[in-house]
Amino acid sequence: MRIFLGVLLIIVACLAMCGIVVIPVLPPLADNASIDNALAVILCKPNERLERDLYQRTDNDGTSYSMTPTCINSERQREDVTVKWVLIGGGAFVIPFLIGLFLTIWGAGRAAKRRIANSLGNPGYNVVNTSGMPASNMEFKDGVLKVGGMQLKMDHLNPENIKAQMGMSAGGGDLTEKLRQLQEAKDNGLISSSEYDRMRQKILDDMK
Q: What is the pTM of this model?
A: 0.51
**Co-location of 115 and 129 in the same domain:** no
**Co-location of 24 and 116 in the same domain:** yes
Sign for the pseudo-dihedral over CA of 134, 138, 141, 143: positive
For 69, counting Cβ atoms within 10 Å of its Cβ (0-12 exposed, 13-18 middle, 19+ buried), the class is: buried
Q: Where are the beta strands (DSSP E) in the chain?
A: 49-59, 62-72, 78-80, 125-129, 138-141, 144-147, 150-154
pLDDT at 145: 61
pLDDT at 182: 84
**Co-location of 116 and 154 in the same domain:** no
Q: Report the number of distinct structural domains present in the chain.
A: 2
**Co-location of 139 and 113 in the same domain:** no
Residue after which a domain boundary falls, among 70, 101, 120: 120
**Co-location of 106 and 185 in the same domain:** no
**Co-location of 155 and 169 in the same domain:** yes
Domain extent for 139: 125-207
175-187 vs 159-166: helix crossing angle, rounded to 10: 140
pLDDT in tens, 12-39: 999 999 999 999 999 898 889 999 999 9
pLDDT at 169: 44
Share in percent of the chain as helix, strand, coil (round to 5) = 55, 20, 25
Residue after which a domain boundary falls, among 78, 100, 120: 120
pLDDT at 163: 53
pLDDT at 139: 64
pLDDT in tens, 32-83: 999 999 999 999 999 899 999 998 888 888 888 899 999 999 888 999 999 9
**Co-location of 102 and 132 in the same domain:** no
Examine the pLDDT at 188 and tell me if it is beyond 50: yes
**Co-location of 9 and 50 in the same domain:** yes
**Co-location of 46 and 61 in the same domain:** yes
- From the list 159, 167, 170, 157, the residue with the least C-alpha distance to 136 is 167
**Co-location of 13 and 93 in the same domain:** yes
> Is the CB of residue 138 less than 8 Å from the CB of residue 146?
yes
Residue after which a domain boundary falls, among 120, 138, 173: 120
pLDDT in tens, 123-180: 444 444 444 444 445 566 666 666 555 665 555 555 555 555 455 444 445 678 888 8
**Co-location of 14 and 113 in the same domain:** yes
pLDDT at 184: 86
- From the list 151, 133, 140, 150, the residue with the least C-alpha distance to 191 is 140
**Co-location of 13 and 27 in the same domain:** yes
pLDDT at 178: 82
pLDDT at 201: 86
